[in-house]
Amino acid sequence: MLRPRQIQRYCPKCKKHTAQEVERVKKRKASELKKGQRRFRRVTAGYRGFPRPKPEGREKATKRVALRYRCKTCKKATQPAAQRAKKFELKEAA
């Protein structure tokens, strides 16, 4: 997927279409305080083994690409749901 660095898009704060900068969002470190992580730590503690079977087979053909759009006028950022793509590249402005 080839995307331009700047795009015309609707800004919910300005309530109109504005020029917005596109940036790729990296996955942040998972919080240790979340319920699932606390459960995982409890299950793996002690002498027990890993709680889930190891995934079999190859890895997925596509990865999720999360994009953040930042409005040039009000500087508000919106992040819609991630899309799947085999290859992702941000095109430089010509």
Domain 1-27+63-94 coded CATH 3.10.450.80: yes
Using alpha carbons, select from 27, 13, 29 the residue that is nearest to residue 69: 13
- Residues ≥6 apart with Cβ < 8 Å to 62: 84, 85, 86
User: Is 70's pLDDT higher than 70?
Assistant: yes
Using alpha carbons, select from 22, 44, 21, 40 the residue that is nearest to residue 32: 40
Question: Domain spans of the chain?
Answer: 1-27+63-94
For the stretch 42-65, pLDDT in tens is 988 988 788 888 888 888 899 999
How does strand 6-11 pair with strand 16-24?
Answer: antiparallel
Prediction pTM value: 0.74
